[in-house]
Structure 1
Amino acid sequence: MDPIEEWSRAQERVIALLDGATEEQADRRVPACPDWTVRDLFSHMVGLGSDVVAGDEPDDHNEAWTQRQVEARRDHTVAQLIEEWRATAEPLREWMRQHGPRPLGDVIIHEQDLRGALGVPGGKDSAGVAAIRDRFAPRVGARLPAGTTLGLVGPGWSWASDGGEPERADVVLHADEFELHRAALARRSAAQIRSWTTKGDVEPVLDAFATLGDLPSEDRSE
């Protein structure tokens, strides 16, 4: 996989998703980012690229930094945001060639957040999704209670927190790879994670999935 090409493909999918969006669609709340509308989230995605290229990127991607991206584009139309993102694309690709493909995570994660808000599925089987799933599964593992192992098993992918056989882990979940990917990003509810549990007591490990904030109280899908 070429992560920079995957970033470019994801960018084009998002542009295709939002190009021609109505005001009602742009003003919809994003369930995965409830403080933001579709326009707000897209403003962050565009602003992140511009800030990274400009050398303005804090290590923690803190809330004040991301909110400034939204506020700076508060009066922009979706079409204007698309224009800015296209203009930033090649400088950002060059930045990734020099510094690594970290921005891939933002576009892959938020593409699906936007799709969830708009009710338009797509991009689930991309190599970018697989790459971010593989990046975040160990983050879940690092948050597990001491001495507890976790196995995630999908139809074509599996992972164990201890590097062993997933089915031999203390707690085992069986679900579609995309669902496991979204769970590792704190985009699935505790009830959804419980429903996939085929072995062990999942309750002590639920917090391990809260990698990007608290688990949602309601079930989510894209």
Structure 2
Amino acid sequence: MFDASTEWTAAQQRVIDLVERAPAAAVASSVPACPDWTVRDLLSHMVGIGADVVAGHEPDDHNEAWTAAQVEARRDRSVTELVAEWRGITDAMVAHIRSSGDRPVNDIVIHEQDLRGALGAHGATDTPAAQHVRDRFAERLAGRIAELPPLELRGQRWTWRSADGDPAAVIAATDADLARALVSRRSAAQLRSWTVAGDIEPYLEGFAILGDLPSTDLHE
């Protein structure tokens, strides 16, 4: 069963556990999925999302200026200070999710995996929240490739097809890799390497839901 507020708070605690255990060098290291940011910057963004959401300052498009301001405003804060700020708005975030919808779950699930990739800490790939985000972004992919013949994503336990009918192309990979591909966290080269039938080229732009696909392969 998926309960958005429960899943958000569980992900928040996992992220806090990761960053509190991380050595200083890791906190200062670059995040492969967000190469302009360090681990501390990414944490600043995650905290900033919550602060802006509960303050009613959330643009529909989550644009770059909005996210950059979150990081810049917290430039001099330590991990301890960032965690304290985040914990301080937890109750307000839970109330927001219960009253206004589960969009914050998307952000925290995606960025938890970004963080894990930077810290080399695999995990949380099959939580109810991860499955929820995967299914939501699969629907978005279907809409983006609606003019094309069906595409099939074939995982270990999860299989999805963009439309009825025989697929014109099939990608086979782990469930976790497919979920990350759906949120623009896998490269075109990775998608090509997982193609077991048909031609993936016409579908690649559809995977760029959250921006350009990464230029280098990503792994968590």
TM-score bracket for the superposition, by shorter chain length: over 0.9
The residue aligned with 1:193 is: 191
Matches within 5 A, 1:65-214: 65-144=66-145, 146-162=147-163, 164=164, 168-214=166-212
Q: Distance in 1 between matches of 2:88 and 2:108?
A: 16
The letter of the residue matching 1:182 is R
Q: Distance in 2 between matches of 1:176 and 1:31?
A: 20
The letter of the residue matching 1:27 is A
Segments of 4+ moved more than 4 angstroms: none
Q: Percent identity?
A: 53
Matches within 5 A, 1:22-41: 22-41=23-42
The letter of the residue matching 1:4 is S
**Unaligned regions of 5+ residues in structure 2, if any?**
none
Q: TM-score, normalised by structure 1?
A: 0.95
Q: Distance in 2 between matches of 1:67 and 1:129?
A: 25
Q: Distance in 2 between matches of 1:134 and 1:179?
A: 14
Q: Distance in 1 between matches of 2:68 and 2:215?
A: 24
The residue aligned with 1:6 is: 7
Q: Distance in 2 between matches of 1:103 and 1:77?
A: 23
What are the superposed Cα offsets for residues 44-101 of structure 1, whole Å, 9 maximum, x if unpaired?
Answer: 1001101100111111111111111101100000011011111111110001111011
What are the superposed Cα offsets for residues 150-196 of structure 1, whole Å, 9 maximum, x if unpaired?
Answer: 1111121111111x36xx21111111111100001111111211121
Q: Distance in 2 between matches of 1:119 and 1:77?
A: 21
SS at match of 1:199: strand
The answer as to whether partners of 1:150 and 1:161 remain within 8 angstroms in 2 is yes
The letter of the residue matching 1:26 is V
Q: 1:63 to 1:76 in 2, by over 3 A?
A: same
What are the superposed Cα offsets for residues 107-136 of structure 1, whole Å, 9 maximum, x if unpaired?
Answer: 000000011111111111211111100010
The letter of the residue matching 1:49 is G
SS at match of 1:19: helix
How many Å apart are 1:145 and its aligned residue? 6.6
How many Å apart are 1:197 and its aligned residue? 1.1
Number of positions where the alignment pairs a residue of Structure 1 with one of Structure 2: 219
The answer as to whether partners of 1:145 and 1:204 remain within 8 angstroms in 2 is no
Q: Distance in 1 between matches of 2:59 and 2:214?
A: 26
SS at match of 1:213: coil
